[in-house]
Amino acid sequence: LETVPAARPTHGPPTDEGFFYDFDVRPLTPEDLEAVRARIEEAVRRREPFVRREIPIDEARRLFRSNPHKLRYLSDVSDPNVSVYTTGSFVDLCRGPHVPDTGWLAGLHILGISAVHDGGREDGPMLQRIRGVGFPTPALRDQYLRLRQEAEARDHRGLSQRLELAMFLEEVPGFPIWLPRGMIVVRELERYVTEHLTAAGYSEVRTPLLFPQSVFETSGHWDHYRENIFLSTVDDRVFGWKPMNCPGSMLIFRSRPRSYRELPLRWAEFAPLHRREPSGTLHGLTRVREFVQDDAHLFVTEEQIEPEIRTLLDWVRNAFTTFRFEWSYELSTRPPGALGDAAQWATAEATLTRLLEEAKVPYRISPGEGAFYGPKIDIHLKDSLGRPWQTGTIQLDYQMPKRFGLEYQGADGQMHVPVVIHRTILGSWERFLGVLLEHTSGRLPPWLSPVQVRVLPIAEAHAAAAQSFLELLWSRGIRADRSESTETLPKRIRSAEIERIPYIAVSRGPGSGRRDRRSPNPAGRRARKPSGGGGS
């Protein structure tokens, strides 16, 4: 405010990665940012204190009478008093607490400026957002910036395009386009999951992409998730593009009488899902509007809940050990406005807690963060830079089966309502592959690499031998290609390394042998060979 006096502060919360503050002001320039940085350094040297005061809300309205953003916030406050903080000449609303003075922020760093819509609404006015991080010492700040630089080098958006896996167009925000090499990776990942599904007794189903409004009203999504559903009108009826697969599976179960002898029923579905995410939240492959996930719904009896979830937790361990991730769990409990009675929720939460204790994997509890129909276990990965990512989920649902009128005949001859377990282990292909690309810096496991072997003839005289070897690899089901000898061998080897191709075969002609180079981080599947889609 001292460098750009016309700026009106709106709000500035801490985030998982630092903080930001939004200002109602003209577009800021790099020169503005430099002036802000200089003022921050001065404030750190002067150790300006943060002073907290409680004031009546009427006084707060007078204090911020020239700032409509603060007045809008105050209009939603029901308490008679609010807290304000003062440092230097700056006064702002904040609950706190704060550090004692600005000297505690010797490692503060401004990351950049961006334009955002007020309140995240696409029709809201544009604000200028200043983003930053704060550390007590410059050494900790520099360590963070080195990690940030490494993260930028690993950014999956750049890797996806350089490795010709996926592309992102302004014309279709949130809808990544898979290129031929990317589709190989997607299909291999799908095959990996499908093999496990088959071994675990799953069947695959496919349900429509669109459902009428009435189906979402029955499922509860219309009341709890409508703003995230893309809508279409067909023959004067409102249809929604499904954001989840569960309503379709409910309709399949309801389509005929069921017996306890059929349970557990395990139905997997790999269908495109669509969610109307705000444009400001979209990010490459990790936050999209269209995606496919390793989704499944298990229809079980009360007695089958524990063994099924125990099996799923084992599956989580096997999957993320294969991909060399660390992982933890988050148990989310009953949210405000949840469906069903509190006693049933408490029983479900106690069951999940006991199973997590048995799994001996770190977990935390997030009160009030469960799905509207049941508690859930979210799976969090930690990548090679130590960053957390939420991927899969296991959700226990007593409510949606009741809403759809699902029943099965029990061994006692009576009708019972099944319990549904919603589960996805890897999560969406898009998000998981985005995370995996950054985790491995694009060096995918050989079984997942779109090109597993690059054949390099040393010279034109070796082209025929190189082609014969290439065709041999193809006949063994190995994904291989060939680089022509128009450039020097070192340049072609370097090109293959940049493309993250795990094996390089140099052809010197018949009988001369070949040289293989392994990926520095193969992380292969254990049960299969690298040829034909297996691991190393």
In the annotation, is 409 catalytic?
Answer: no
Q: State the catalytic residue, choosing from 70, 242, 289, 376.
A: 376
In the annotation, is 275 catalytic?
Answer: yes
Closest CA to 212 of 230, 248, 237: 237
Q: What are phi and psi of 454, to 5 degrees?
A: -110, 120
Cis? peptide before 97, omega within 30° of 0: yes
Q: Any idea what the Cα angle at residue 191 is, between residues 186 and 196, rounded to 5°?
A: 130
In the annotation, is 94 catalytic?
Answer: no
Q: State the catalytic residue, choosing from 154, 221, 246, 399.
A: 246
Residue type, 424: T
Tokens of 340: 């069903």
Q: Are 177 and 285 in contact (CB under 8 A)?
A: no
Beta-strand pair 376-382/326-332: antiparallel
Q: State the catalytic residue, choosing from 70, 154, 258, 275.
A: 275
If DSSP codes are grouped into helix, strand and coil, which group holds residue 378? strand
Q: Are 517 and 503 in contact (CB under 8 A)?
A: yes
In the annotation, is 397 catalytic?
Answer: no
Q: Are 242 and 232 in contact (CB under 8 A)?
A: no
Q: What are phi and psi of 211, to 5 degrees?
A: -130, 150
28 DSSP assignment? P
In the annotation, is 390 catalytic?
Answer: no
Please spell the DSSP secondary structure of 296-359, one letter per residue: EEEEE-GGGHHHHHHHHHHHHHHHHHHTT-EEEEEEE-PPTT-SS-HHHHHHHHHHHHHHHHHH
In the annotation, is 479 catalytic?
Answer: no
Q: How many CA atoms lie within 13 A of 92 on its CB side?
A: 20
Beta-strand pair 265-269/203-204: parallel
Q: Are 151 and 387 in contact (CB under 8 A)?
A: yes
In the annotation, is 439 catalytic?
Answer: no
Q: State the catalytic residue, choosing from 266, 297, 443, 492.
A: 297
Q: State the catalytic residue, choosing from 22, 141, 293, 500.
A: 293
**Beta-ladder partners of 93:** 84
Q: State the catalytic residue, choosing from 109, 157, 289, 422.
A: 422
Q: State the catalytic residue, choosing from 22, 32, 294, 295.
A: 295
Which residues are annotated as catalytic?
A: 246, 275, 293, 295, 297, 376, 422
